[in-house]
Structure 1
Amino acid sequence: MLELTKKQTTGRYAEICIRVPIKQAGKIAEATKSFLRLAGHEVREINDEGEELFSVEEVFPNRHPGKLLRGARVRENLTQAQLADKTGLKPHHISEMENRKRPIGKDVAKRLAEALNMDYRILL
């Protein structure tokens, strides 16, 4: 059963709460966001404390796996040659991955992540 409540929050906007069955909450939330976007409204996520949430892309617009690989390697105080030795990769392949000239596949990401003490999914 849907239950609508309306509470005025400012002179220009109203807060609308919808109470729905928990099993349908995710679908209804996504449908509502899609509807609002189609109507030309910006939809922002808010956490339980009322703080606006941002996507990784918004916070780190130039993020790419090569930069993350280089940062993790520097954090671990390793050269490209040392990382290559630890992972069984060629040093020039490490360089190409860091410079966006070679993609990082899942198997390679796992080897790199193990050597760099990180989660491999960050490099994908």
Structure 2
Amino acid sequence: MSVPMKMPRINQVVQVTFAGKKPSLYLVPKEKAESLEMFLNEYRKDNFMPAEEVFKDLHDKYGRAGSRLGGYRMRNGLTQEQLAKKIGCPQSWIGGWEGGTRSLGKKWARKLAEFFKTDSRVFL
């Protein structure tokens, strides 16, 4: 014989997708859903500003390719030295590319794009 269980009043269904995983549905009590929504609103995709707007000063100072490379590297938690070892170039080249003092050719743009799983035109 089953025992009846007291279920919280569910007024909201929340779908969350974590990187690399299937979306999950969560049944959230109404009183918790409002505070959860306020918290998540800070991270909504449509609240983001375009990178060109956020990094305009960096693009002007270091060049678009350099600031993008630095962004990809930092987003992946890599130092210049670690990235250099992974793609097979000297660390000074990474610093030069990011600093805008060394031009990034098609060959290295392709290697970086392959490593970061993006299009090589991002770095050109």
What TM-score results when the alignment is normalised by the length of structure 2? 0.50
What TM-score results when the alignment is normalised by the length of structure 1? 0.50
